[in-house]
A and B are shown apart, each in its own frame.
Chain A
Amino acid sequence: MAKLHISTKINGEPTEFLCDPNDSMLDVLRGPLALTGSKEGCGSGDCGACSVMLDGRLVCSCLMLAAEAEGHEIETIEGMAEGEKLHPLQQKFLEMAALQCGICTPGVLVASKALLEKNQNPTETEVRYWLAGNLCRCTGYDKIVRAVLDTAAEMREATR
């Protein structure tokens, strides 16, 4: 099977890779691109651990073919911090103990960032429904929801 040559942009950097037609975006991120921050919890789009942004839209990278990245932009957890400076969500998750084992954390953070980009003042219910596609088995979600709400409040305060 001939490999496909794909040109894309990942975390702001022009990136090229070769893939099989049936490779998922997650396969390529975790394999040849060595961006293992995105996790495979299910491979069927049910757990959200592989969440990435595709042209500003939240997607499960396990449900996206790698070839579909051609000409598009992808953001992963590895691109969330700016150099040494953590994104406010990352910092808040640490301060509020919003992670335990941490395997769902990259996906939850990417999804939460996507929410706050669309809605700077989400209600608890909005946070809960937005994150309903990200399974976490450790925390019971309480501290995750609080961390997202607190971050949103701080970010609003910072931009006033």
Chain B
Amino acid sequence: MNEISNKWIGTNTIRPDGADKVTGRAAYAADTSMPGMIWGRVLRSPHPHARIKSIDTSKAEALQGVKAVVTSKDIVEFPVDKPVALGIQDMRWMSRNVMAREKALFHGHPVAAVAAMSEAIAAEACKLIEVDYEVLPWAIEIEDALKPDAPILHDFVQFEGKPSNIAGTLEHKLGDIEAGFAKADVVIERSFTTRPVHQGYIETHACLVSVLSDGKTTIWSSSQGQFMVRAMTSLLTGIPQSSIRAIPAEIGGGFGGKTIVYLEPLATMLSKKSGRPVKMVMSREEVMRATGPTSGSTSTVKIGATKDGTIVAAQGVFYLQAGCFPGSPIRGAAGCAFAPYNIANVVSRGFDVVSNRSKVAAYRAPGAPIGAYAVECVLDEVAEALKIDPLDLRIKNAAREGTKAAHGPVYPRIGLLETMESARKHPHYKAPLGKFQGRGVASGYWFNAGGESSAQVNITEDGNVVVTTGHPDIGGSRAAIANIAAELLGIDYRRVSVLIGDTATVGYSNLTGGSRVLFASAIVVTDSAEQVIGQLKARAAKIWGISADAVVWENGEARPSGDHTGNFPTMTLAEIAAKATETGGPIGAGVQLNTTGAEGGFSTHICDVEVDVDLGIVRVLRYTSFQDVGRAIHPAYVEGQIQGGAVQGIGWALNEEYIYNKKGHVDNPGFLDYRMPVCSDMPMLDAVMIEIPNPKHPQGVRGVGEVPLVPVMAAVANAVHSALGKRYYSLPMSPPKVLEGLDEGTLQAAE
């Protein structure tokens, strides 16, 4: 653990990119242009499922102002029978997702792209492309995709020896499930459904790509990983990674949805063919039809407990929509669902189901909120059946140091119990409730992640500091890195500039995702800063003519110690930097690592709601999140993550859903009908940060970004149940659904 003064760690400093962002000067992906730039546009499938028999682009190419047209022929093909893994993605599917090849698999699937002198000409050209489709039957919902006579999306996907839309399974097992249930006094089994929801970032996908005649390619785009953009674009275009420079624009929200490419490979091929820089910007409708969302699901959870409240067995089956290619987050759903509890006998299964929807993308703790929703609602019913307070039931069964989780790990010191006990003691938990008001609680877990990270810490000639890291900053990570660097070097944080490097200027760094960024970058920044401090001490030692071991670094100064104490005046960072040339040259250090030790994150939430029984509207009155944050390096941005996650979950619980019409098209592809929470929907949000430092991290950091979403839907659902005495088993609990479930008996009982 870092035991130094903590002058900056734990303080709410001004973020390095702040002034740019409040003045409108920050450059997001769509804000950049280049000389000679032209505009790209995508032609999308009008059918949810169709074989592409032929594409004739000749009329589009002949249109005045059109400079290039691309189809799947221009994108590298990966045969379907040979996996090509890149992280958690498979390039077989990525290739077919960015541009339909044999078949169009959802309404909105790209089939061609055009670059022209203006967006209007590109749009006109798209209309001139003739695609001969053989329209096929389609399946949108899980139950339709699993019917015996369901249309099969991919002939090569087999389940139990037959072509199927079940593209993958996963099972976690612990103990003896049958024996466990045999011991139970109470067994509750319930089924739940959730709808797909979009990540809802306000910045639509955009990129600007320049390919020169020598093949040198520059990509400006908004993503959660410039190295992911480089790798995927390279694989999909055949341009070597060394020829591609991917520059991370400021990112206007991602939440997981920008961990894959959509436009970059198309713009690259359009630029290559046209010889011009090409800019592409998705409309909101394109974002809603063809990117993200996260999975819809159907789950069944069965939990058995003895009279004293000990959970003796738990079983979960989670079917998740993958969209049109394999790869739904069943690992998050089946793996995280029971992870907050010490249960001896567990079976947790996930099924990955393909159907004619856009391919799902990661969304904040992918899969985990789906699993937690079902498990935490059933736990509420177990508590009710046993007449035990729902938090007491959770406290009794909480995982702690030494607990073996069904998904594998044995936990080190964790702060879950503290989140539950803080909630139990908090005034919120005792506050009075009125008519049609209710309170719900829920807990949640997310794995967190480490992975590859790189940093460079350089001392400028005037004695200030530039830190370059490789993970796009999506919610304030630069501010936290500035705090850490300032702390270690003992200088004012305003003397530290933190930048996100591009693929040519910083070492490989994995995606911004998995709640990894501050965990991983703090490690490489700490290691780099320690090397820099070593150099600074050595330089001072050289100037003083003493051994480097006899120099200490304190409060931003080198000081002689031991026998030499007081023999020389201390030297500041600026004084040492001024003499860098004659003492050995530039001062700086870089570290590149595959970081490990990211322990899981836990939280417990309390939600109060009021149900308007005339309109069916559920209003959240009060919300408090209790989270083990490890160490809050920049508390305000940690709180911000916790608050933002809560509101995303409230949207998921109450309003957000993809609605499909009878033609297999998304019927609500915009912010008017896809109703995300607005300011007037929300109360103030309390975030209680509990700091149980991660013993495996120099500053004690645990990831904090994802777990804030995990318990929310269950907490809201449990609160609605508490308000009405009636439980809804499907999300969203939108006004029409709530009203439909309210009969006279329920209302009278609730009053």
Would you give the shortest CB distance from B31 to chain A, in whole angstroms? 4
Main SS class of interface, B: loop
- When the two chains form their complex, are residues B636 and A136 in contact, meaning their CB atoms are under 8 A apart? no
- When the two chains form their complex, are residues B24 and A135 in contact, meaning their CB atoms are under 8 A apart? no
Contacts of B682 in A (CB 8 A): 128, 140-142
Cα A44 to Cα B15 with chains together (Å): 31
Would you give the shortest CB distance from A101 to chain B, in whole angstroms? 5
Known: A137-B644, A140-B644. A94 touches B18 (CB 8 A): yes
Contact among B253, B283, B643, B684 with A101 in the assembled complex (CB-CB below 8 Å): B253
Contacts of A128 in B (CB 8 A): 679-680, 682
Cα A37 to Cα B21 with chains together (Å): 9
Contacts of B15 in A (CB 8 A): 94, 97
Main SS class of interface, A: loop
B19 within 8 A of A: yes
Cα A137 to Cα B649 with chains together (Å): 11
Would you give the shortest CB distance from B259 to chain A, in whole angstroms? 15
Contacts of A133 in B (CB 8 A): 678
Cα A132 to Cα B677 with chains together (Å): 9
- When the two chains form their complex, are residues B21 and A99 in contact, meaning their CB atoms are under 8 A apart? yes
Residue of B nearest to A34 (CB): B33
- When the two chains form their complex, are residues B283 and A39 in contact, meaning their CB atoms are under 8 A apart? no
Cα A95 to Cα B28 with chains together (Å): 22
- When the two chains form their complex, are residues B14 and A95 in contact, meaning their CB atoms are under 8 A apart? yes
Cα A47 to Cα B200 with chains together (Å): 11
Known: A97-B15, A138-B640, A139-B644. A41 touches B202 (CB 8 A): yes
Complex interface: stretch among B448-456, B668-676, B717-725:
B668-676
- When the two chains form their complex, are residues A135 and B678 in contact, meaning their CB atoms are under 8 A apart? yes
Cα A127 to Cα B200 with chains together (Å): 23
Known: A42-B670, A77-B24. A138 touches B644 (CB 8 A): yes
- Give residues of chain A (103-158) contacting chain B, Cβ–Cβ below 8 Å: 103-106, 109, 124-125, 127-129, 131-146
Contact among B22, B637, B640 with A109 in the assembled complex (CB-CB below 8 Å): B22
Contacts of A86 in B (CB 8 A): 19, 22-23
Cα A101 to Cα B223 with chains together (Å): 12
**Contacts between chains A and B (CB distance < 8 A), count:** 180
Residue of A nearest to B649 (CB): A140
Cα A49 to Cα B474 with chains together (Å): 17
Contacts of B379 in A (CB 8 A): none
A61 within 8 A of B: no
B27 within 8 A of A: yes
A81 within 8 A of B: yes
- When the two chains form their complex, are residues A97 and B476 in contact, meaning their CB atoms are under 8 A apart? yes
- When the two chains form their complex, are residues A41 and B476 in contact, meaning their CB atoms are under 8 A apart? no
Residue of B nearest to A78 (CB): B24
Contact among B24, B253, B283, B647 with A140 in the assembled complex (CB-CB below 8 Å): B647
User: Can you report 21 residue pairs joining A to B where beta carbons are below 8 Å apart?
Assistant: A30-B30, A36-B27, A36-B31, A39-B30, A39-B202, A40-B281, A46-B672, A47-B671, A76-B24, A97-B15, A97-B637, A97-B640, A100-B253, A100-B474, A100-B475, A101-B203, A102-B250, A104-B202, A137-B199, A138-B640, A139-B643
Q: A42-B670, A103-B250, A145-B684 are in contact. List 14 more A-B contacts (CB 8 A).
A: A40-B204, A41-B252, A77-B24, A81-B23, A97-B15, A99-B21, A100-B476, A101-B201, A101-B253, A102-B17, A103-B203, A103-B252, A138-B644, A142-B682
Instruction: List the 10 closest pairs (A to B, CB-CB), nearest first.
Output: A37-B24, A103-B252, A102-B21, A97-B636, A140-B647, A46-B671, A77-B24, A140-B643, A36-B31, A90-B22
